[in-house]
Amino acid sequence: MTRAGQMVLVVSFVAFSWLAMQVVHECGHVLAAVLTGGEVQKVVLHPLTLSRTEVTPNPHPLLVVWAGPLWGTVLPLGAWALAQWLRWPHAFLWRFFAGFCLVSNGVYLAGGALARGMDPGDLMRLGTPQAALVGVGLVGAGCGLWLWHRQGKHFGFGASGGQVDRGAVVASVLLLVGVTAGELICGGK
């Protein structure tokens, strides 16, 4: 495919990765809440807003808050491992997504710890040291960058000269349409 295909692949997969990262992050909060006896009041997932999960009562808030970034990275790593094991020709998409989730959650933890906002602020109020959040965040972001290393060729960069696999473009667009539709249909519940 040409540069247009490259643009569609890059833009659609970055957009998919952003939305899907929020989904797996919130899944972590929900799973931990349910497993620890908490009651999920609301999960907000919408393409035009930042996601959030409201849990009341929440008998184990520290575990519930940590579960967001933890499962928000473990699930994508598992998807990439499965794609590799199945020898899916577009496993690089899942590698990128896993890296995206590691970078996003890592920056979120480290930056949020410094700004004392959102989940990182909650974690500090619940006793997690700021240095631990920054350290975990930097390690996570570093691992994500490592996963991205040398993946540009699949997205048409460098020697690829804008050439990308048509199947990867179709898969990326379908994934974006699917996650967007899912969030629009049931994301404010």
Domain ranges of the chain: 3-186
Structure tokens at 1: 């495919």
Going by pLDDT thresholds of 50, 70 and 90, the confidence category of residue 113 is confident
CA distance 33 to 35: 6
Task: Give 4-41 pLDDT, tens digit per residue.
Answer: 999 999 999 999 999 999 999 999 999 999 999 999 99
Q: Peptide bond preceding 120: is omega within 30 degrees of 0, i.e. cis?
A: no
| Predicted local confidence at residue 2, as pLDDT | 78
Phi-psi region of 12 (alpha: psi -120 to 50; beta: other; left: phi over 0): alpha
CB 30 within 8 A of CB 71: no
Task: Give 35-82 pLDDT, tens digit per residue.
Answer: 999 999 999 999 999 999 999 999 999 999 999 999 999 999 999 999
* pLDDT at 189 exceeding the cut of 80: no
| Predicted local confidence at residue 1, as pLDDT | 61
Structure tokens at 150: 């040398």
Please, what is the average pLDDT of the chain? 95
